[in-house]
Structure 1
């Protein structure tokens, strides 16, 4: 197992939670690709600009390692709603190269409903 990959991903989450966006971007490969339920983003700078606006907060519940791939199960505070989600982080050469996130988006889409 590549414990450096896990440390990198957890450092990335910590940087986002503390709104240290330049530090978070330092964890990403320039060609970083994000794929999520609501869309795809290409490029570390593009992704970080969006994170600066959203200011999501992550509570990591569990992590799983498979070589240079790290999967996290977490609660994400999105606009005051706590959403259970899973993120699959692929690392390469000491940087996060890609992230795939899955969650049920219905709480975000249902205005006023829980």
Structure 2
């Protein structure tokens, strides 16, 4: 028997996998046509979205979730993005989930400290 995850469960698994660097699990959560728009760029399709997550994953230390709100297929996660190049960055992530797969992601945060930290690292 196959059980489809709820949108909330999908979001929880997404953030747990990303924080752990478990990109196989993360890839399995993304719909082939996932559409990502965020403060650092955009991505169309699962492979492009995964590449972006892997890129930021190189400096990711922790995802400190403050709140998660789910209503139907929509989930908003409010968290501090903790990296080794910048102070914790308050971040809002909204995702839409269809049949256990993430189809749309929108992320917003002030990227200035993170960009400065990435620049200093190079």
Are residues 1:43 and 2:45 paired? Answer: yes
Is 1:64 matched with 2:66? no
TM-score (norm 2): 0.81
Question: How far, CA to CA, are the matches of 1:98 and 1:77 in structure 2?
Answer: 23
5+ long unaligned stretches in structure 2: none
**Structure 1 alignment gaps of length 5 or more:** none
Q: Which moved more, 1:35-44 or 1:50-59?
A: 50-59
Deviation (angstroms), 1:110: 4.2
Task: Give me the whole-angstrom Cα distance separating, in 2, the residues matched to 1:36 and 1:50.
Answer: 10
Distance 1:101 1:23 in 2: 20
Instruction: Name the residue aligned to 2:78.
Output: 73
Q: Partner residue of 1:102?
A: 108
Query: Partner of 1:14 in structure 2?
Result: 16
Aligned to 1:91: 97
Displacement of 1:52 in angstroms is 2.0
SS of 2:102 mapped into structure 1: strand
* SS at structure 2 position matched to 1:99: strand
User: How far does residue 66 in structure 1 lie from its aligned partner after superposition?
Assistant: 1.7
When normalised by structure 1's length, the TM-score is 0.87
Q: Name the count of aligned residue pairs.
A: 110
